[in-house]
Structure 1
C-alpha cells in the first residue's frame, strides 16, 4: 500500500513540475525563451529541451524501454551541453511537443512498473537502482530546473509562481529591493547602525 502511495505521490509531483516548466514559456517571445540569461547561457527553452532528454534517458534506457526517437548517447562528449539550448531550426512547438511525447513514454514506464522495479544507470557510481530512485531523482531534477526557470522568468517580466492559478499579482518590487540592497551594503560594511 505504501509503495503505491509513494509511486503515485512522486508521479503526481513530477507531472506538476513538468507543467510548471511549460507555463514558464507562456506569453514570452521566441527571443525571450531562447536568450541566454546567465553567464553559462541558461535559458527557458533550453531547460525544457534538457528535461526532455533527461526523462527520455532515465525512464527509457534505465529500464530497457528506450524512447523511440533519436537522441545523443549519454556518453557522447560531442553532444554534451547541446541539450541546454535550442537551435534556430528547432521551434518552440518542436521542443514542447517532444517534451510531451517524452512525458507519455515516461508515464507509460512509470505505470507499467512497480516502485521496486530494477533499473540500471551506467553513468551513476552505484548503477543498480529501482523505479523509486529514478522517480525521486527526476522530481528533484525537474524541481531544480523549475526553480531556475522561475528566476529566469522573473528577470524577464517579473512573473513568479508555479502556475497561472497561483501566480502572485505583479507589482513594483523596487522599494523592497532597495531595502534589501541597503541591508546587504550595511552588513558588508560591518553591520547596520543601531
Structure 2
C-alpha cells in the first residue's frame, strides 16, 4: 500500500515535470525568456527555478546533495537569480540541468521510504519526511505548471498538459470567443 502511494506521487511529479518542458516546445528563444508579468515571470526561468527546487528538496534535505554547483542558490546570489535565464545560459543547458536534477531526485525517491526523515532549515517546522517533500514539490511544480500554462496561452494560445491534451472542452474558436465574451459581460455586470 505505501509503495503504491509513493509510486502514485512519483508519477504525478513526473507528469508535472513533462508538462513544464512541453511549455517550451515550438517557441523561440525570446518567447521562452520573455518576462510576461510585472515580476518577470518567464517560461525558461520557471524551469530553471524548478531545477533548484528539486535539487535542494530531494538533495540537501536528505543529506544527498546534488553533485553539481548551482550558484543560484548560494547565499550571495542575487535575489531571483534562479527565476530567469541569462543570455549565456542556453535552453539546452537549462533543460539538460532539469533532467539531471530529475535523475538525482528520482534516485532519492526510489532509495528512501516515505517515512525517511529530512530537514528543511528555513521551514517553520524544519523536520519533515520524504512524503512531506514529495507533497511539497508536487504542489510547487504544479503551481508553476499553472503559471506556465497561462504564459504559454498568452504567447501562442497553446494550453494544457501536453500537445495532445489541452485539458479543456473541445470547442472551436467561435465557441471560445463567445464564451470569453460571456465571461467578460458577467465581470462587467458584477462590477457595476
The residue aligned with 1:192 is: none
The answer on 1:102 being equivalent to 2:77 is: no
1:176 CA drift (Å): 2.1
C-alpha contact (below 8 Å) 2:71/2:77 kept by paired residues = no
The residue aligned with 2:163 is: 164
1:159 CA drift (Å): 0.8
1:73 CA drift (Å): 7.2
- Spell out the pairing of 1:1-194 with structure 2 (5 A cutoff): 2-72=1-71, 74=73, 76=75, 78-167=77-166, 171=173, 173-189=176-192
State the Cα deviation string for residues 34-65 of structure 1 (Å, max 9, x = none): 00000100000000000001100000000000
Deviates more, 1:48-57 or 1:172-181: 172-181
Q: Tell me, in whole angstroms, the C-alpha distance in 1 between the residues paired with 2:92 and 2:19.
A: 16
| Residue-pair matches, total | 188
State the Cα deviation string for residues 114-161 of structure 1 (Å, max 9, x = none): 110111111111111110000010000000000000000001111111
SS at match of 1:119: strand
Q: Tell me, in whole angstroms, the C-alpha distance in 2 between the residues paired with 1:111 and 1:78.
A: 31
Structure 2 residues not aligned, in runs of 5+:
none
C-alpha contact (below 8 Å) 2:13/2:138 kept by paired residues = yes
C-alpha contact (below 8 Å) 2:55/2:65 kept by paired residues = yes
State the Cα deviation string for residues 6-33 of structure 1 (Å, max 9, x = none): 1111100000000000000000010000
SS at match of 1:41: coil
C-alpha contact (below 8 Å) 2:72/2:82 kept by paired residues = no
Q: Tell me, in whole angstroms, the C-alpha distance in 1 between the residues paired with 2:140 and 2:38.
A: 21
C-alpha contact (below 8 Å) 1:46/1:83 kept by paired residues = yes
Provide the TM-score with structure 1 as the length reference.
0.92
1:72 CA drift (Å): 3.6
Pairwise CA RMSD of aligned residues? 1.5
SS at match of 1:97: helix
Q: Tell me, in whole angstroms, the C-alpha distance in 1 between the residues paired with 2:177 and 2:49.
A: 33
